[in-house]
Amino acid sequence: MVSGLFSPLTLRGITLRNRIGVAPMCQYSATDGVPDDWHLVHLVSRAVGGNALVLTEATAVVPEGRISPGCLGLWDDAQVAAFERITAGVRAHGAVPGIQLAHAGRKASTGLPWADSGPLTPEQGGWPVVGPSSLPFADGFPAPHELTVAEIAEVVAAFVSATERALAAGFELIELHAAHGYLLHSFHSPVSNRRTDSYGGDLEGRTRITREVVAAVRSVWPDEFPLVVRLSASDWLDAPSWTVEESIELSRWMAGAGVDLVDCSSGGVAPGVRIPLEPGYQVPFAARIRHEAQVPTAAVGLITEPRHAAEIVADGRADLVLLARESLRDPYWPRRAAAELGALDRLPAPAQYLRAWRG
């Protein structure tokens, strides 16, 4: 069991040193999409802590795709240099630098969570939001502009441009954000997509934009580097909504189109949804997609204990465990897990920390 959590995982030409990674977590601390010293310390410290994969927060492919004015972006060449020092630092400490490329869709243009996280007015610096249909996310949110087919093509092109910048910035793994009610997921779900053209209706139509983004990104992303997609595997709502069965079918297609791993989350398309929160509550999604779609998966969702993480990998429910809030609480969680599980020899500490971590 222990050896599984601390065994390497190879995806294309990249090998992760273990099965533990840092999930994307918004820091709301960028200026004009540019990362600063906060992002450098936040991300590089998790590499020092022993994580195998360090993912940036959701990084918008266009300015209007940001969740908030403080979110990262990669729509401009000026942002590339700021990311370069982060990827160099993550790589220098043994982890693979990954970036999550995203568009927030109808959930964009909101305030900082520690201030007022509601939708911003134009006077507050807000901007118009877009979506598959003109349906607001919730009461008090603006109705999004329904994207035209030509505008959808522009979104796909923006993902491609951001991918090329990610390569220039030194990233070695890309995750496409198709979860949590943001733009791509909002096309997937009948809750937010009422279109009657080729981007709506049946499963093929509702997933068309994601399939186009995957194909376009894979065409410019080097063959030796992995491509990952984060899915909301279920809306946790009654029909008509996005289901795990549809996620399995989409994952089958993505696996054949060059996606190397599916990061399995859930929810986010509507407010007030009742979700049965408990440790590992989303792991069954990762297990089903892994076995039924025959594609590697990452598990997330209240995974906090080392033995639990080790069991998930040992039981074949997922290939990788991604930690979010637990990683915020403890940047050195992988080293603590190695110590608890008697595997410090599998994760040598930096020389500067040997007095604290023996092995």
Asked whether the beta carbons of 154 and 165 are under 8 A apart, the reply is: no
* Residue whose token pair is 């089958």: 252
Report residue 223: phi and psi, to 5°. Answer: -60, -30
> Which H or E run includes 114?
none
Residue pLDDT, tens place only, 69-110: 999 999 999 999 999 999 999 999 999 999 999 999 999 999
pTM of the model: 0.97
Residues designated as active site:
182
Give the pLDDT band (50/70/90) at residue 2.
Answer: low
pLDDT(1) > 70: no
Tokens 């491509």, residue? 227
Could you report the per-residue pLDDT of 143-185, keeping only the tens digit for each? 999 999 999 999 999 999 999 999 999 999 999 999 999 999 9
What mean pLDDT comes out for the span 46-66? 98
Type of residue found at 321 = V
Confidence of residue 354 (pLDDT cuts 50, 70, 90): confident
